[in-house]
Structures are given as C-alpha cells and as structure tokens.
Amino acid sequence: MQTLTLLGKSDVTISMIMDVLESKGMFPEIKIVNNLDLPIEHTFNNPKFKWEIINEIIGDTFALGVSNSPIKRKILNTFGEDMNFINLIHNTASISSTTTLEKGCTIHSNVSISAHSHLGKFVSVNRNSSIGHHTNIGDFVSINPSVAIAGHVNIGEGTVIGIGAIVLDHVNIGKNCVIGAGSIVIKDIPDDVVAYGSPCKIVRKTNI
C-alpha cells in the first residue's frame, strides 16, 4: 500500500489508525479528505508518517478517519462507499479464522474475536475488547475499549458499547443504542435507546 486515503478527520481516530499501521510495519503516505466543517488540530502527528490534507477523493485504498457512528454515516452518504475500503487490524489483535469482517473495519490493539462471529461494515473495536464466538456485530457499531462480549450475542447497526461494558451470552442489543460505560447487559435491549447500569436498564430514547 503506497497511500491510504482517509475520509473524515478525527485527530483521535487518525492517531489510532497510525498506531495500527505502525504495528504492521506499514507506512503509507496518508491523504486526509477533511470533514466538511471540523477544525484541523493536527494532534495526530506521528513523525513516522507523511500526510497531507486533500480536497478531492483520490487514491486506491481507503479507510474512514472518524469513529463516531453518525459521522461515519454522514461521510459515506456524502462521498459514497464504492471505494476500496480496507480492514485495518492491529498486529496484536487475535481474530479467529472462522470469523468474517466486511469492509472498513478498524480493530485496535489486543482485541480478541472468537470463532464464527461476524462484523458488518465500518465497525470499530477498540483496544483490549473481547468478542465471543457466534456473535454478530452490525454495520457502523463502535465497541469502546475493554468491552467484554460473550458468545451468541447480536448487536444492531449503529450501536455504541461504552468502555468496560459486559454483555452476557445470548443477549440481543438493538440498533442505534448507546450502552453506558461499565454496564452489565443481562437482558435484550430494544432499538434506539440509551441504557446503562448493572444490571443494564433503559434510561431514555436515543436521538441519532
């Protein structure tokens, strides 16, 4: 890979993408198509990478430069998703050979994903999270750091699982939910709700 074009610019996400690439000994030139209106802070600087901000979509290998589900969707609605989006997987991640990932996923350090699971497109799984066997993660889901998801779990499109949450086996979590940090999810959660606590309870509707 000579170049990697990032659609969208979150300083945090770009820093983490550089870490993933560095872990694999890959140092493509990074081209960043800036978000429509976000300011540029450049706190992602890593001296090992050359990067530039560009205003048009060029390149042959693409990833999203943001992690927030609604912003991911907004960028793809604006630019389309027919480009060659790759999966970025940190060298320390361990993913079963029987697990499948669609395109545009980012898997960070020390993540483990067990057998026969499936990740949809544009899923982010943050550092130290663990996903069990026969688990299905929907498109655009973000799994924050140190989440533990058991086996036979289903998580709907666009849902965010907060840092340190635990999801017990056979639980179904709906679409566009936010599960609070540190929650223990022991029962199904419907679509479009914010839920948190131990045990995890619905608190209000989301407005995604």
Ligand X SMILES: CC(C)(COP(=O)(O)OP(=O)(O)OC[C@H]1O[C@@H](n2cnc3c(N)ncnc32)[C@H](O)[C@@H]1OP(=O)(O)O)[C@@H](O)C(=O)NCCC(=O)NCCS
Q: Which residues pair with 130 in a beta bridge?
A: 112, 148
Comparing CB distances to ligand X, the nearer of 7 and 178 is 178
194 binding ligand X? (CB under 6 A): yes
d(CA 26, CA 13): 17
Does the active-site annotation cover 90?
A: no
Residues 203, 194 contacting (CB under 8 angstroms):
yes
* List 49, 51, 85, 196, residue binding ligand X (CB under 6 A): 196
184 binding ligand X? (CB under 6 A): no
* List 181, 184, 202, 208, residue binding ligand X (CB under 6 A): 181
Comparing CB distances to ligand X, the nearer of 138 and 180 is 180
71 binding ligand X? (CB under 6 A): no
State the virtual CA torsion across 95, 126, 167, 122 in degrees, nearest 10. -80
d(CA 201, CA 107): 28
Residues 78, 57 contacting (CB under 8 angstroms):
no
180 binding ligand X? (CB under 6 A): yes
- Residues annotated as part of the active site: 152
Enumerate binding residues for ligand X (CB under 6 A).
Answer: 144-145, 162-163, 178, 180-183, 194, 196-197
